[in-house]
A = this chain, B = another copy of it.
């Protein structure tokens, strides 16, 4: 079926944050990510646009629209479109019981979508369920975040709001706020608190002053060479891995 100009325009407009938030819809692209989407049950799929080569996985009844390769190119945000594009509804926000949670990741001004996606993928690997993000972080449904997260967006509870509003609640529930910083306690000998909220700041400016004033402690990855800093996704991964090594699940 050929898509109308209005349909193409609508789907393409979901590359923009403003439109996504009005429509409460986001885009997932490519065979691997859409296959995983169809096998999970947390996200509600609005429609699937696919070339005839795409074979849907799972057993859900789908609003599947078969389209041509050239129509896929018209609606895709990828440099190399890959057979299928799904429109997915924003999930309902989940409420978190801070008394039950034990490990939380807090992101302060993470603006690069590739970094955010990688951080979510890593958090998911290490069994972190909840990620709090400052309002000036990139939004979860940015297509580059979705692609880099490799499906972690289907599972992670990403709560984007004012950290000044959310972090005091965490503290009241017994969390220690521990920030990654250039000058802090040595990661390798650090004793983790029972309830850890790990705070990561931006690569260029570190943790913002407002958030910094709420921290209980800072933590540093020991440096053995000359490079000035680590990529923020890399730094988060090193700390989360070390945390699991010491504390288990």
A residues apposed to B, CB below 8 Å: 114, 118, 121-128, 148, 150-152, 155, 187-188, 221-231, 233-234, 237-238, 241-242, 244-245, 249
Contact = CB atoms under 8 A, between A and B. Distances in A.
A221 B118 CA distance: 16
A231 B233 contact: yes
Q: What 10 A-B pairs have minimum CB-CB distances, sorted nearest first?
A: A127-B224, A124-B227, A127-B225, A234-B237, A238-B241, A188-B245, A124-B225, A125-B227, A224-B249, A118-B231
Contacts of A187: 241, 245
B241 A150 contact: no
Contacts of A226: 124, 155
B121 A231 contact: yes
A62 to B, nearest CB: 23
Contacts of A114: 114
B244 A224 contact: yes
- How many copies of this kind of chain does the complex include? 2
A242 B245 contact: yes
Nearest to A203: B150
B126 A224 contact: yes
23 contacts: A114-B114, A118-B233, A122-B230, A122-B234, A124-B225, A127-B224, A127-B225, A148-B231, A150-B227, A155-B226, A155-B227, A188-B245, A222-B244, A224-B244, A230-B237, A231-B233, A233-B233, A234-B234, A234-B237, A237-B238, A238-B238, A241-B242, A242-B245
A226 B238 CA distance: 18
A122 B237 CA distance: 12
Given A241-B221, A241-B242, A121 B188 contact: no
